[in-house]
Amino acid sequence: MLLLRNADVYAPEALGRRHLLLGGGKILWIGADEPVLPESLDVDTIDLDGARLVPGFIDGHVHVSGGGGEAGFATRVPAPLLSRYTMAGVTSVVGLLGTDDATRSTAELLSHVYALREQGLSAWGYCGGYHVPPATLTGSVRSDIALIEPLIGIGELAISDHRSSQPTLDELLRLASDAHVAGLMSGKAGIVHLHLGDGKRGLDLVRRALDTSELPPRVFQPTHVNRKRALFEEAVELAKRGCHVDITAFPVEEGEDAWPADEALVRYLDSGAPPQRVSISSDAGGCLPCFDGEGRVCGMDVGHSGSMLETLNALLARGLPLERALPAFTSNVAGLLRLAGKGRIAVGMDADLVALDAAGRADLVLARGGVHVRAGAPVRRGMFER
């Protein structure tokens, strides 16, 4: 058991100074007055001395087995290591396949999801990848989602991108229907997580899917929606129709036709779109390539979960209240993906907690009650980390 004293709690709403008792991976008690506990309980204590305590971040778009490969096999990105998540305040991840769903498989993805769980994080995944027909383990996305516990939807299916398989409306509707029905059968999210490229068609395929089918808008979650300013405006309108949209915390050059994640979130919140229908993810482990006019890679970066904490600090620096910024990193993601026990600080919830120091760094990180980061340094590392 662990007692956290003198925490300035954001649940994500501001609760003020509180003490928290943790045990069995859960939050057992929260109160304004410090409890008197019998010595026989042998409770460890950490005094946060007024530090801000927030829910652990849920990174909903992670290449847990590595991404990349668009410029040859040597450009395949390695899988991120455990402390790359925890040092960024990330305690839950959702893994996926991207461009390379040929040499990387659903089985490999699942093995990395299970490995992260063994190391103390919470992890799930999507079946499929960029292309149609989607990569699966059972031969059917409906069976994958319904029968394989960690798989909660399809992703990241690519549209409006020269690397996609150019899916038709009928193909998208069939996949979305399979995801939705499998979600109903299993109590999972059952969504289609859609990679958006730079193509001029933008979100037209999703609009047509909403216009011509009975599927709930929540089934469609476009990501990378801030990569083009016009695309972002389309995404905001879809959110008003009931879709959930995901902003990517990738680097944006000055003058580029894109919105940095902090600017995109502020614009979204000011647009009048439902505040619960937006999230921020990192694309950790995935390559961030640029292409020339002939579709060849002309530059490459790699996403990392630390971009989420950087984005949160950028939002705070521009004056957005912490309680207004946090849902996009925590409760909104848990709500869409139906991740029970995640995204909030409350009695009975999982003890996924991050204490931020004065500079906005992750000073203390607990995942399911286990201490991963303390005094800003990792105390638990992955098997192959030095």
Catalytic residues: 283
Sorted by sequence, the CB contacts under 8 Å of residue 294 that are 6+ apart come out as: none
Instruction: Answer yes or no: is 283 a known binding residue.
Output: yes
Q: Provide the 10 A C-beta neighbour count for residue 35.
A: 11
Output phi, psi for 151, to 5 deg: -85, 120
Which helix (H) or strand (E) segment is 319 a member of? Answer: none
- Cα radius of gyration rounded to whole Å, the chain: 20
Residue 225 DSSP class: T
Does 193 count as an annotated binding residue? no
Q: Tell me the DSSP string of 122-180.
A: EEEEEE--SSSSPP-SSS-HHHHHHHSTTEEEEEEEEESSTTS----HHHHHHHHHHHH
- Is residue 61 marked as binding? yes
Written as six digits, the tokens of 225 are 């929606």
**Structure tokens belonging to residue 156:** 């990241």
Question: What residues pair up with 301 in beta bridges, in sequence order?
Answer: 288
Distance, CA of 121 to CA of 85 (rounded, Å): 9
Distance CA 367, CA 364 (A): 10
**Structure token pair of residue 289:** 């390539």
| Residue whose C-alpha is closest to residue 23's, from 50, 49, 4 | 4
Asked if residue 260 lies in contact with residue 226, where contact means CB atoms within 8 angstroms, the answer is: yes
Cα 276 from Cα 326, distance rounded (Å)? 11
User: Does the annotation place 372 within a ligand binding site?
Assistant: no
The answer to whether the annotation marks 63 as part of a ligand binding site is yes
Whether the bond into 133 is cis, omega within 30 of 0 = yes
Task: Give the closest residue to 281 by CA, choosing from 382, 156, 100.
Answer: 156
Residue of 198, 212, 234, 220 whose CA lies nearest to 154: 220
Per the annotation, binding residues for Zn(2+) are 61, 63, 195, 224, 283
